[in-house]
Amino acid sequence: MSNFEEGFKLLEEKFGNGKDNVIALATIACEPDANGISRPVVRGVDAYYEDGVFYVSTHGRSNKMMQIAKNPVVSVAS
């Protein structure tokens, strides 16, 4: 089994099988801070994991959605 396949197996074991999960979702703020530096924004979200995808329910105009629209690179942690 490759490292990639092993990683997906671990994700499925930890988050799959219909479990309700709270994960940390990190995005990058749309506007830089006072020093001109883009800063990370981390928040806990309720997520459902299936087939390699985390599904999160949120308002389409929430800060996290605007941040993801501007920069789709995100990070998750448990």
Name the pTM for this structure.
Answer: 0.81
pLDDT in tens, 50-71: 988 999 999 999 999 999 999 9
Q: Token pair 């994700």 is at which residue?
A: 11
Residues 46, 22: contact at Cβ < 8 Å?
yes
Q: What are phi and psi of 47, to 5 degrees?
A: -135, 150
Q: What are phi and psi of 35, to 5 degrees?
A: -90, 5
pLDDT in tens, 19-48: 899 999 999 999 999 999 999 999 999 999
Domain ranges of the chain: 3-77
Residue 49 has pLDDT above 90, yes or no: yes
List the one residue out of 26, 20, 25, 53 whose CA is nearest residue 40.
26
User: Residue 4: enclosing H or E segment and its boundaries?
Assistant: helix 3-15
